[in-house]
Amino acid sequence: MAGYRAEDDYDYLFKVVLIGDSGVGKSNLLSRFTRNEFSLESKYRAITSAYYRGAVGALLVYDVTRHSTFENVERWLRELRDHTDPNIVVMLIGNKSDLRHLVAVSTEDGKSFAERESLFFMETSALEATNVDNAFAEVLTQIYRIVSKKAM
């Protein structure tokens, strides 16, 4: 997520990355949050190690209707932790919560994985705009909490 770039005109600039398997809804979560838009097309680009550099927050996304995307969360988390500061704020996100009849990963499973790994957790729908603002806001709040503690 690109930050606000008017160099002289901000108090804080935080880098937050969106990761997770292809098709889980990363670009739609971002477009819902930034422009309140949703799209049926997939257009998220590949991730390289430069993508992680300097990140202080991450949204790690899986698709609640595809169990394989949840199984891969562990791998994404390892890769993230290999490339970032240990204090990074990570929010685990089970996206596509609107597809209730197709759910393949229970809320409990998401929640207990998050607890085990000390991640924050939310289920979202980029389609219905459920919890999207909350997820981004919570990550920024937690980052701010850490940054302001360091500054004291």
The yes or no reply on residue 40 touching ligand GDP (CB under 6 A) is yes
CB of 79 to ligand GDP, least distance (A): 16
d(CA 149, CA 152): 5
List residues bridging with 89 in a β-sheet: 57
Considering the complex, state which of residue 6 and residue 40 has its C-beta at the smaller distance from ligand GDP.
Answer: 40
15 vs 26, which CB is nearer to ligand GDP?
A: 26
Counting contacts by CB under 6 A, is residue 6 touching ligand GDP?
no
From residue 50 to residue 79, the character string flagging contacts with ligand GDP as x (rule: CB under 6 A) and all else as - is ------------------------------
Q: What pairs with residue 60 in β-bridges?
A: 19, 92
Count CB-CB contacts under 10 A for residue 37: 11
Task: Report yes or no: 54 and 83 within 8 Å, Cβ to Cβ.
Answer: no
Separation of alpha carbons 151 and 84, rounded Å: 20
- Least Å distance, CB 83 to ligand GDP, is 19
> How many CB atoms neighbour CB 122 within 10 A?
21
CA 78 to chain centre: 15
Closest CB to ligand GDP among 57 and 94?
94
26 lies in the site for ligand GDP, by CB under 6 A = yes
Binding site for ligand GDP (CB under 6 A): 22-28, 39-40, 42, 44, 95-96, 98-99, 125-127
